[in-house]
Amino acid sequence: MSKIKVMVIDDSALVRQTLCTILNSDPGIEVVSTAGDPIMAAERLRTVVPDVITLDVEMPRMDGLTFLQKLMSQHPIPVVMCSSLTELGSETALKALEFGAVDIITKPKLGTKQFIEESRVRICDAIKGAAAARLGPLRAMRTMKEISPKYTADVIMEKPNANAMIQTTEKVVVVGASTGGTEALKVFLEMLPEDTPGIVIVQHMPENFTAAFAKRLDSICRVTVKEAQDNDTVVRGRALIAPGNHHALLKRSGARYYVEIKDGPLVSRHRPSVDVLFRSAARYAGRNAVGVIMTGMGDDGARGMKEMFDAGSINIAQDEATCVVYGMPHEALKQGGVNKVLPLQSIAVEVLRLCS
């Protein structure tokens, strides 16, 4: 297979150099051009057509959002936003996702060997996900080299057993999404009424961005949306979003469902991991759970969804036509853990039917 060609646009020479080093370290990726601002990038796009662009949020001469809008209207190319961990940067990057960017990565920085390696995995995976993305479903939503070892959910929680499948009257919904998921979740959550059963969500997103994402959704949805905190109760009318860089587990104490937020290694190359959330749902909710897996690159959630299926859960996968990347739902389908495959706009209605 040919390498994924990337253009890096950032006003910091150090960031450009660091991103080039990280991306070129992956045998499947090649940086073919760099630019210090969008004006320079526009000139270089006349002669170089990359598969993916990484775009800084804040730059001189033209800001990243303005350039993104021009690019999407004139020459659509998958864009990954590269942002600092500031509140303003988070808000702007989330707005960029609404304007057509595929994903967000945080600006790379020096740290421990493990931190650098995890950052490399996240950044390279974001580029690969963007390269596989189909921009058509994103527009439709607006209008309606692997680290070793590759950990599984075993490092966070033991596999569920039959004793965990006691049925109660209260349903709980668990959702996993990645590339393209921010807009898919917006469509899903906006359709839900105020008395919807409690929801726990893992969306692959960097640390600090999940709080801004939850706040944005909370302002437009009838259900309450918040970034999950340790020991938050899962209640009707509220959706909890796993905080970036932390795993979220569904737990139960008597009739009360709650979330546990914890650290740990990357699972299925992610933290938070959908596999971890789904395994915990299999163990503590069983047939009381409804699972939903949405658009995303890779296979995170596929094994966990099969465990949910085996525990009696009813599971839904988003269909290929409405996915930006049909990776995670496809892998879950191949594992045999999916009961229904539905277009995005039909998922909320089916979830409500299953929980009634």
Top mean-pLDDT range of 16-20, 73-77, 148-152: 16-20
Tell me if 145 is assigned to some domain. Answer: no
Q: What is the CATH number of the domain that holds 164?
A: 3.40.50.180
Contact criterion met (CB below 8 Å) for 288 and 261: no
- pLDDT (average), residues 115-141: 86
247 and 287 in a single domain? The answer is yes
In the predicted model, is pLDDT for residue 302 greater than 50? yes
pLDDT value at 145 more than 70? no
| Residue 144 confidence (pLDDT) | 59
- Mean pLDDT value across residues 58-85: 86
> Which structural domain range is residue 193 located in?
153-355
Cα–Cα dist 19/107, whole Å = 8
148 pLDDT band, cuts 50/70/90, is very low
| Pairing outcome for strands 256-262 and 247-253 | antiparallel
Cβ distance 254 to 138 under 8 Å?
no
- Mean pLDDT, the chain, as a whole number? 90
Annotated active-site positions, please? Answer: 178, 204, 300
Last residue in a domain, options 132, 162, 189: 132
Residue 69 and residue 62 in contact, taking contact as beta carbons nearer than 8 Å: no
CA dist., res. 91 & res. 100, Å (int): 15
Res 112: pLDDT: 64
330 membership: H or E segment, kind and range? helix 328-335
Residue 139 lies in a domain: no
Q: Which DSSP string do the residues of 166-234 spell out, in sequence order? A: ---S--EEEEEE-TTHHHHHHHHHHT--TTPPPEEEEE---TTHHHHHHHHHHTT-SSEEEE--TT-B-
pLDDT tens readout for residues 154-204: 655 666 654 454 455 689 999 999 999 999 999 999 999 999 999 999 999
What pTM value is reported for the model?
0.88
Residues 158, 287 share a domain: yes
Rounded CA-CA distance 94/206 in Å is 11
The 10s digit of each residue's pLDDT in 193-247 is: 999 999 999 999 988 899 999 999 999 999 999 999 999 999 999 999 999 999 9
- For residue 147, being part of any structural domain is answered with no
The answer to whether position 143 is within a domain reads no
